[in-house]
Amino acid sequence: MSPLLTPTITQTLAELGTARVPHIITELPGPIARSIIARDAACVSPSLGRVYPLVPKRARGLVIEDVDGNRFLDFNAGIAVNSTGHCHPHVLAAIEQQSRELIHYCSSDWYLPVYIELCERLAATVAPSMGPAKVFLANSGTEAVEGAIKLARFTTGRPNVIAFHGAFHGRSLGALTLTASKAKYRSGFGPMIAGVFHAPYGEFGYIDNVIFKHLSEPSDVAAIIVEPVQGEGGYVVPPPGWLAELRELCDQHGIVLIADEVQTGAGRTGTMWACEYERIAPDILLAGKGLASGMPLAAIIARSPIMQWTPGKHGSTFGGNPVACAAALATLDILQDGAIQNAATIGASLLADLQTLRHRQHAITAVHGRGLMIGIDFVSAEFATAVEQECFRRGLLVLTCGDRSLRIAPPLTITEGEVRTGLHILTDAISAVATIAA
């Protein structure tokens, strides 16, 4: 195994112990967690929709220890963020070294070597398909989406953007207008920005036959924005050839194709970018989440001829913060040194195991995904939520998505042993819920 993968595992064993993971020693939530949750209720924005009472204190690799000393196996990675496992030593060292040298200096106004180095590394990852690229660094996926809408409108001089039902692109007003995964995310915040149209995800011909015919001429469309595998919408893999159809439409009409790879990117699906599966080259590729192993960082990576906006057109105080950039460079080292390959190999065998489980467990209606982005569909939303909660009680962290799915998105450094442990708990949890439901 690669030396960059091994330390995560060793560190896990060294610092949190191998004794037993999961290891639940209190009722959940435990007494300390309960007191923290009570304080939270008094002062934290109630817009945060917590899914179960997990109060993490420290973590290594795939192991999370809560404030009461309970240990959980993490199949969430902080929603597809902790791509290299928690507190990977290579990432820690990069953060520490950069913090000692320079924590912040605004990249919008001055030149930061680490910012430039990261842009070079990111541009190199897309060069084979997209050609020469330029990069803008932001703090969050939402900001990358906002920037991409601006860039597409600026470049084309056109107003409209096409997104898809089930999409999640963030919650600021522009990104929220594109988001169409749950109506409650949008409700109460209108009016949304003008010029956005939605199409069914994965449906061939719809844009041509419906949107271009009845709603917007293609010459008014600046961009089509698509998740190569839909994330919050349910870990939905589109039918083969559909992304190619979007690429063709964009070529035909001079529309910018934006791949929102905030969740699928940085190795999650077993290749650096999920677009690579279908050999699709977007004009703009957005990255975030797993890019910096948990430090806030996102990127707008655009073909050089597209990213031609002039000084002052876009900027950010914190975007491309040096410490986040250093964490991202270390993350890319780990990803390219074996973690992406690990995601592809382990993801494929986990998908096969879950397919087998589906044949034994009737409550599972479908299993789909790529690499370590796997969705399990259940008979109902209630069933999916009950499995999520049961897994938590048994020490496995998973999260629902879409209408009635459970997502599996562990760190890409996961070992076969950890997969076996997680699968075992998941299987038992599903059986327990099925027994109660029967």
Least distance CB 132 / ligand PLP (angstroms): 25
**H/E element holding 422?**
helix 416-437
- CA distance linking residue 80 with residue 329, whole number of Å: 18
- CA distance linking residue 268 with residue 261, whole number of Å: 10
Least distance CB 50 / ligand PLP (angstroms): 16
- CA distance linking residue 406 with residue 387, whole number of Å: 8
- What separation in angstroms does the CA of 63 have from each of 12, 14, 69, 341, 381? 7, 12, 12, 21, 27
Dihedral, CA of residue 139, residue 370, residue 303 and residue 174, to nearest 10: -50
Q: Is 297 in the site for ligand PLP (CB under 6 A)?
A: no
Site size toward ligand PLP, by CB under 6 A = 14
Distance of CA 77 to the CA centre of its chain: 9
57 is catalytic: no
Decide whether 148 or 429 has the Cβ nearer to ligand PLP. 148
Among the options 289, 377, 378, 392, which is catalytic? 289
Q: Is 262 in the site for ligand PLP (CB under 6 A)?
A: yes
260 is catalytic: yes
Q: Which residue is nearest to ligand PLP (CB)?
A: 141
Decide whether 185 or 210 has the Cβ nearer to ligand PLP. 185
Decide whether 263 or 342 has the Cβ nearer to ligand PLP. 263
Decide whether 88 or 289 has the Cβ nearer to ligand PLP. 289
User: Are the beta carbons of 340 and 4 closer than 8 angstroms?
Assistant: no
Spatial CA neighbour of 308 closest among 280, 325, 284: 284
Decide whether 218 or 282 has the Cβ nearer to ligand PLP. 282
Q: Which residues contact 20 (CB under 8 A, 6 or more apart)?
A: 71
Residue span binding ligand PLP (CB under 6 A) among the ranges 38-46, 103-111, 162-170, 318-326: 162-170
For residues 84-143, which are near ligand PLP according to CB under 6 A?
Answer: 140-142
Residue 35, helix vs strand vs coil? helix
Q: Which residues contact 396 (CB under 8 A, 6 or more apart)?
A: 22, 72, 73, 75, 422, 425, 426, 429
Residue span binding ligand PLP (CB under 6 A) among the ranges 7-15, 238-246, 258-266, 379-387: 258-266
Count of positions (residues) in the chain: 438
Q: Is 169 in the site for ligand PLP (CB under 6 A)?
A: yes
* Six token digits for residue 85: 């496992």
Among the options 72, 136, 164, 168, which is catalytic? 168
Decide whether 28 or 262 has the Cβ nearer to ligand PLP. 262
Determine the angle formed by the axes of helices 89-101 and 6-16, rounding to 10 degrees. Answer: 90
Instruction: Draw the binding track, 174-193, toward ligand PLP (x: CB under 6 A; -: no contact).
Output: --------------------
Least distance CB 328 / ligand PLP (angstroms): 14
Query: Contact with ligand PLP (CB under 6 A): which of 260, 377, 390, 418?
Result: 260
Decide whether 61 or 170 has the Cβ nearer to ligand PLP. 170
Q: Is 263 in the site for ligand PLP (CB under 6 A)?
A: yes
Among the options 66, 68, 260, 377, which is catalytic? 260
182 is catalytic: no
Least distance CB 194 / ligand PLP (angstroms): 21
Q: Is 170 in the site for ligand PLP (CB under 6 A)?
A: yes
Residue span binding ligand PLP (CB under 6 A) among the ranges 3-11, 164-172, 195-203, 266-274: 164-172
Query: Contact with ligand PLP (CB under 6 A): which of 68, 74, 227, 377?
Result: 227
User: Are the beta carbons of 270 and 372 closer than 8 angstroms?
Assistant: yes
Name beta bridge partners: 300.
Answer: 136, 286
Distance of CA 317 to the CA centre of its chain: 23
- CA distance linking residue 30 with residue 339, whole number of Å: 34
* Interacting residues with ligand PLP (CB under 6 A): 140-142, 145, 168-170, 227, 231-232, 260, 262-263, 288
Active-site positions read: 168, 260, 289
